[in-house]
Chains A and B, each alone.
Chain A
Amino acid sequence: MSETTYLVRHHTAYQYENPAQQSHNLACLIPRTFPGQTVREIRLEIHPKPNCRFNWLDVYGNAREFFELSVPHETLEVTLFARVNRTPPSAGACDLTWEQCVLPDGNAWDAAQSLGREFRFASPQLPLPDHAGFETDDLFTPGRPVLETLDAFMTRVHDSFKYDPEATTTFTPLNEVYEKKAGVCQDFAHAAIAELRRRGFAAGYVSGYLETLPAPGREKLRGADATHAWYSVRIPGYGWVHFDPTNNMRVGARHIITAWGRDYGDVAPLKGVLLGGGAHEITIEVDVWSWPEQVPEDMREIFAG
């Protein structure tokens, strides 16, 4: 299949109540390169100009940017431009049953995969639940092929939770999500990951974007796309398979992957510690344009400079 190219624009603006005297920030915004996705060009603009900024790869291989502002500032704007090539993941056959992919305690796993075991543990935002947050026992019938089981599981997550941006915030704990049975993509992913880990799977949290298509005959609106999140499951000998429970679909060429970690906290797009500043307001705008045809005129030259 042919590859698709996207231009992503992800703009975040903080407006502080009082001038912040200093801020130290960590961005996890730059999309990864890995089989199936190649990052062609990147620009990360920060205003006001940081006193210091640098980047490195974190323990999971995600690109991190540290920046520090030590002059009083009332606003902070961070804008990512990324041109990314995407090829759809190869859907090779997998004849494992789900039981064969559940990781027992001890050292049954082969050593080469052992670093992946990290993803079956509780993580800072996701303590292992001692009971299921939603009914899934009926899906895990003996001997069922693993991909089929996991697809059914994704559908169950999709059907069990209502998409409701008002229901939760970034820091809503999992048990509350389980109670409300509602939330956004982050909550869908967290709910699925916790249940999968409880069952002994290694599951991770993935942040990224999804290209949205305007209604037929309509223009695509500026800034109307959104950041997105989903989960991936490790299948021994096969690899990580990504599932998007919010949209009830396997992750494909329309998904752009930014970073993965154990939960949201590992890959929060922007976090910081602020001296002063008081309350703040955040504005986020995201555009995912297929390159070059959808890209507005003024954005075409973005990497020229």
Chain B
Amino acid sequence: MVAFPNETKQYAARVSGYDEAITARGDLLPAWRNFLPRVQGANEETRRAWSASIRRDLRDDGLTFTTSPDPTRAKGRENLDALPWVFSADEWARIEAGVAQRMRLLEAVSRDLLGPRKLVRDGMLPADLLFAHAGYLRACVNLPANLGAQLFFYAADLARGPDGRMWVLDDKTQAPSGAGYALENRTILGRVFPDLLGDLRVRRLAPFFRTFRDAMMQLYEGRRLEPRVVVLTPGPYSATYFEHAYLATYLGYTLVQGDDLVMRDGALWLKTLEGLQPVDILIRRLDAEFCDPLELRRDSYLGVPGLLGAMRNGRVACVNHPGSGVLENRGLMPFLPGLCRHLLGESPLLPSAATWWCGQPRECNHVLAHLRELVIKPIHRNSGEPTVYGWTCSEKELQALKARIQSRPMQYIGQEHIGFSTVPLLLDGRLEPRRSVLRAFACATPDGPSVMPGGLARSAADVDSLRVSVGEGGILKDVWVLGNQAESHRSLWHETEAPIDQTWFGGVFTSRSADHLFWVGRYAERIGRQARLARGILQTRATPIDDDDTTEVCLEQMANLMDVYCGREPEEVPPALSKRLRRAMQGTKKEPGCVLSNLQALLYAAYNVRDIWSQDTWRALTAIENTGERCCRELDSPFVLGEDLDEMVEKLYAFYGLNAGGMTRESGWHMLMLGRILEAGLGLCDLTAHLLLCDKSPDQMQALMEVALSQNENLITYRRHYRTTPRLHSVLDLMLSMEANPRSLAYLLSQAAEYLHQLPPPVHPGAFDDIVLTLKQLRNQTLQRGWQDRKVRSQLPELLFEARSILQQCAMVITSAYFTHTSTQALEAY
């Protein structure tokens, strides 16, 4: 049954110009004939369910194009359309051939411009065009690629003109982004339309990524048989960090930042807990100028000093070649058809938009005379100057534009405007035509470029708009290429013939990742204990114990403990309880220890190792963030707050559970656990000191002991073991000395020693061995206590003090043994 019989007609009425799905007469084009009726057959409820499913998946994946400088603020995007852009097999074959040809052409141009520059000497390209472009990096000329292609991965932005042909708008040759989003979009739509992909024989993306991996190995010209590949990202502050992490995880490569790498003995190495490990291929997701402070931008902290040296030394291949930005010169556009004939002896298959480079007097005059009809762009993408659509400008703006062009003509191009075609989107449950641009991806192989059968489409949010970029509100779409024969489902890891480098699975932890994992463990534990205490305070306030005095004493001691948990000394005359609670949850700018800032620190650390969390774990982290933020907002509603605190504690346990069940027992896990254990030990010492070491009446002590047991999650255990109201010596016995209790000090100390023991041997074992020994001694002392003895009890403060200092020392030893070299020490350029 068709839910919206007249929908196509209504849609057709809104189309102006060329549409991808329907003809001017309102008939469906062949590629859409099997797909669109399925959409029309879905009623409103189904359509809403599609959108909801997409939103949920996007949010859960924490997938984002955010440009927020604070990665922990990165919310899921909500900009994936339910409908794909569908291409027939024939049509795609033409696009495929055109993109492949363009990539071959650009590779040839790159080889010339980064080598002999014959094109300039022979007058095929104006010298000024090369020299005026900031993407021409002199240090990269004649720099060996150590790979059979300078341009290994390439993306082209295409749009369909009014004549029905696909036109090239732009070339991405440095570190093209979007392939990860294409993959993610497909995964999400696969859940929305589980049968449709198979029914329509939509070509899968996985084979392309397998080709990508295999081709890189085949093109590698270095000496190692099984080269190690890493993905270099500028880090979580980058707008496309998620994608870097997503792709690295999918392809099985280690995600690294500049700090993780070092150039030593003429080669490139990865700093791991196990020591330096060689790196042979670097997938660069960092603009080239930031890659090497020695030879490129001196002020960059994102790169690796000596990287270009390692390339010159033949020891590392870099994908794409650091000089490939020379091709992202928009002034090249008008020369490419000629170069295609000259270099390849072929006519260009894909036309590029008519472009005039203002560095040539005649062309410049043309542009100035037609400003109103043209699109004006800087030749250098990162120049910071926007694209200007002449017809949207006021007279004054045009004059200013004209002056800019005249003062630096070589920096601008004028481009003919291509009226992009529209594609149907599902907006508010209704089919809507929107102008769209297709990004197609290709990678080099020994047999020539291989084009991804799919891609990333971007559509304008508004009906008249041409602005499709995500930063300007654009909407993403999946791209479906219909196949001729059904493909079997082959995920990336199936049927690989080549032996897979063990390190891909071997859980390599860079020292930096280990550092972040250690802090994930610490912050998660810290937040957990703060949340439990906040919940305890709310409960005690809501249901007073015995008499008011006792309640008051308990609340007072708990609030003091909360201060300590937040890293501040309790005041002599503290403010009102609700104020203290607010301070602990939200803090003020000067107090970094509050729940909210710990939460941000947790997410920051977790986000930095985004590639190691499974989807479920990431979902748990996202839930911790959401409930945590709600908690900090809802202080005025104790009931809601209590519920949210419950949920947050629960999610923290879910997070632990997922890690305990899923993480391999390797360095990463040990670091996570060490962080957690040290933090738990420190917390236990504080808790004991503030709740059990005070001088109060027996009734009050009784209540405080119950609070302490409950806060340490030992109340039930205590009742089962001792079957009495709490007595101090039994409480101390359970919470400190009983090693069978996983929340006891003795257990935590022995676990700390155990996990330290399992870490890879540090370079300087001295201090390390000492701390393991001290931990064991202290654990033995803790075990042997007879807490009935008043004299023994009097030594408790000393024991707690000692335990605290040893646990802190332990954290310091770990830091200096494993993490110090990850910090960016003063890198000084002279």
| Contact B410 A105, beta carbon cutoff 8 Å | yes
Q: Which residue of B lies closest to A266 (CB)?
A: B138
Question: What A residues does B142 contact at CB under 8 A?
Answer: 56-57, 59
Chain A contacts for B132, CB-based, 8 A: 121
| Distance in Å: Cβ of B257 to nearest Cβ of chain A | 16
Knowing A21-B825, A51-B264, A277-B828, say if A115 contacts B138 (CB, 8 Å): no
Q: How large is the interface on B (under 10, 10 to 19, 20 to 34, 35 or more residues)?
A: 35 or more
The residues of A that contact B313 with a CB separation of less than 8 Å are: 52, 54, 66
Among listed B120-128, B153-161, B787-795, interface-contacting one: B120-128
Tell me if B312 is interfacial: C-beta within 8 Å of chain A. Answer: yes
Q: How far is the CA of A155 from the CA of B126 in the complex (A)?
A: 35
Please measure, in the bound complex, the distance between the C-alpha atom of A57 and the C-alpha atom of B359, giving whole angstroms: 30
- A58 adjacent to chain B (CB < 8 Å): yes
In this assembly, does B141 line the interface, its C-beta being within 8 Å of a C-beta of chain A? yes
Residue of B nearest to A282 (CB): B830
| Chain A stretch 259-277: residues in CB contact (< 8 A) with chain B | 266, 270-277
Name A262's closest neighbour in chain B (CB-CB): B138
Q: Which of A106-114, A185-193, A220-228, A229-237 contacts B (4 or more CB under 8 A)?
A: A106-114
- Measured between C-beta atoms, what is the minimum distance from A126 to chain B in Å? 14
Question: Does A47 interact with chain B (Cβ within 8 Å)?
Answer: no
A24 with B127, Cβ < 8 A, contacts A59-B138, A114-B120 known: no
A114 contacts which chain B residues (CB < 8 A)? 120-121, 123, 126-127
Q: Would A106 and B264 count as touching, CB distance under 8 A?
A: no
Partner of B830 from the list A52, A109, A280 (CB cut-off 8 Å) is A280
Nearest A residue to B830, CB-CB? A272
Q: Which of A24, A111, A112, A266 has the most CB of B within 10 A?
A: A24
- CA–CA, A274 and B305, complex, Å: 9
Chain A residues within 8 Å of chain B by Cβ, number: 39
* Residues of A100-147 contacting chain B, CB below 8 A: 105-107, 109, 111-112, 114-115, 117-118, 121
CB pair B127 A106 closer than 8 Å: no
Indicate with 1 or 0, residue by residue over A154-180, a CB within 8 angstroms of chain B CB atoms. 000000000000000000000000000
- A112–B121 CB distance below 8 A: yes
Instruction: Type the 1/0 row for B256-267, where 1 means its CB is closer than 8 Å to any CB of A.
Output: 000000111110
User: Contact between A70 and B265 (Cβ–Cβ < 8 Å)?
Assistant: yes
**Chain A residues positioned under 8 Å from B123 (CB to CB):** 107, 111, 114
Q: Does A278 touch B at the CB level, under 8 Å?
A: yes
Contacts of B544 in A (CB 8 A): none
On whether the beta carbons of A278 and B826 are closer than 8 Å, the reply is yes
A274 to B828, CA, bound (A): 5
Report how far A117 CA is from B265 CA in the complex, Å: 38
Residues on the B chain within 8 Å of A280, using CB? 830
| Contact for B361 among A26, A105, A109, A278, CB less than 8 A | A105
A118–B122 alpha-carbon span in the complex (Å): 16
Instruction: Pick the residue among B138, B295, B410, B827 that contacts A274 (CB under 8 A).
Output: B827
B264:A276 contact, CB within 8 angstroms: no
- Contact at B827–A68, with CB atoms within 8 Å? no
- Cα–Cα, bound, A48→B359 (Å): 50
A70 to B410, CA, bound (A): 44
| Interface: B521 (CB within 8 A) | no
Contact with A along B361-385 (1 / 0, CB 8 A): 1000000000000000000000000
A54-B266, A66-B312 known; A111-B121 Cβ under 8 A:
yes
A22 in complex: contacting residue of B138, B264, B312, CB < 8 Å? B264
Flag if B830 contacts A24 (CB, 8 Å).
Answer: no
Q: Is B829 an interface residue, CB under 8 A from the partner? A: yes
**Interface digits, B302-319 against A, CB 8 Å rule (1 contact, 0 not)?**
000110010011000000
Q: How many A-B residue pairs have CB under 8 A?
A: 113
Contact string against B for A residues 49-81, beta-carbon threshold 8 Å, 1 for contact and 0 otherwise = 001101011111000001010100000000000
- Is B817 in the interface zone, CB < 8 Å from A? no
Binary interface encoding of chain A residues 237-276 relative to chain B, with 1 for a CB under 8 A from any of its CBs, else 0: 0000000000000000000000000000010001111111
Q: Which residues of A contact B309 (CB under 8 A)?
A: 24, 52, 54, 66, 68
A52 to B312, CA, bound (A): 12
Please determine whether B825 and A275 come into contact, CB atoms closer than 8 angstroms: yes
Which partner residue on chain B sits nearest A51 by CB separation? B265
Q: Which residues of A contact B264 (CB under 8 A)?
A: 22, 51, 68, 70
Q: Is the pair A106, B359 in contact by a Cβ cutoff of 8 Å? A: yes
- Assuming the contacts A24-B309, A272-B830, asked whether A51 and B266 have C-beta atoms less than 8 A apart, the reply is yes
A273 contacts across to B, CB distance below 8 A: 293-294, 298, 305-306, 827-829
Q: How far is the CA of A60 from the CA of B128 in the complex (A)?
A: 17
Complex: how many Å from CA A197 to CA B569?
A: 65
| A135 to B664 CA separation, bound complex (whole angstroms) | 73
What residues of chain A lie closer than 8 Å to B263, measured between beta carbons?
Answer: 24, 68
Interface residue? B619 (CB, 8 A) = no
In the bound complex, do residue A106 and residue B360 qualify as a contact, i.e. CB atoms below 8 Å apart?
yes
Q: Give residues of chain B (75-130) contacting chain A, Cβ–Cβ below 8 Å.
A: 117, 120-123, 126-128
- B830→A115 contact, CB < 8 A: no
CB distance from B499 to the nearest CB of A (A): 31
Given known contacts A70-B264, A107-B360, A271 and B294 CB-to-CB distance under 8 angstroms: yes
B536 within 8 A of A: no
Report chain A residues within 8 Å CB of B298: 273
How many angstroms between the C-alpha atoms of A220 and B410 in the bound complex?
Answer: 52
Give the distance in Å from the alpha carbon of A58 to the alpha carbon of B120 in the complex: 18
Q: Select the residue from B128, B142, B293 with max chain A CB neighbours within 10 A.
A: B128
* Given A59-B138, A105-B410, A114-B127, residue A54 in contact with residue B312 (CB < 8 A): yes
Residue B409 interfacial (CB < 8 Å):
yes
Q: How far is the CB of A119 from chain B (nearest CB, A)?
A: 9
Q: Which residues of A contact B121 (CB under 8 A)?
A: 111-112, 114-115
CB nearest neighbor in A for B410: A105
Say if the beta carbon of B131 comes within 8 Å of chain A.
yes
Q: A59-B138, A115-B121, A121-B131 are in contact. Are A22 and B262 (CB under 8 A)?
A: yes
Provide the bound-state CA to CA distance between A70 and B120, in Å.
Answer: 41
Q: Which of B305-343 contact A (CB under 8 A)?
A: 305-306, 309, 312-313
Which of A107, A270, A271, A274 has a CB less than 8 Å from the CB of B126? A107
Q: Which of B713-731 contact A (CB under 8 A)?
A: none
Task: Provide the bound-state CA to CA distance between A272 and B830, in Å.
Answer: 6
> Cβ of B117 and Cβ of A115 under 8 Å apart?
yes
What string of 1s and 0s marks CB contacts (under 8 Å) between B237-278 and chain A? 000000000000000000000000011111000000000000
B127–A274 touching, CB < 8 Å: no
A52 and B266 within 8 A (CB):
yes
- The answer for the CA separation of A54 and B262 in the assembled complex, in Å, is 18
Contact with B along A276-290 (1 / 0, CB 8 A): 111010000000000
CA–CA, A114 and B138, complex, Å: 16
CA distance A6 to B139 in the complex (A): 31
- Across the interface, A26 reaches (CB within 8 A) one of B294, B410, B825, namely B294
A59-B139, A68-B309, A273-B294 known; 14 other A-B pairs, CB under 8 Å?
A: A52-B309, A60-B138, A68-B263, A68-B264, A114-B127, A115-B127, A117-B128, A271-B294, A271-B829, A272-B829, A273-B293, A273-B829, A275-B827, A280-B830
Q: CB within 8 Å of A: which residues of B?
A: 117, 120-123, 126-128, 131-132, 138-139, 141-142, 262-266, 293-295, 298, 305-306, 309, 312-313, 359-361, 409-410, 825-830
A-B residue pairs, 5 tightest by C-beta: A52-B266, A111-B123, A114-B127, A273-B305, A24-B306
B-binding residues in A (CB < 8 A): 14, 21-22, 24-26, 51-52, 54, 56-60, 66, 68, 70, 105-107, 109, 111-112, 114-115, 117-118, 121, 266, 270-278, 280
7 contacts between A and B (CB under 8 A): A54-B312, A57-B142, A107-B128, A109-B127, A271-B294, A272-B829, A273-B294
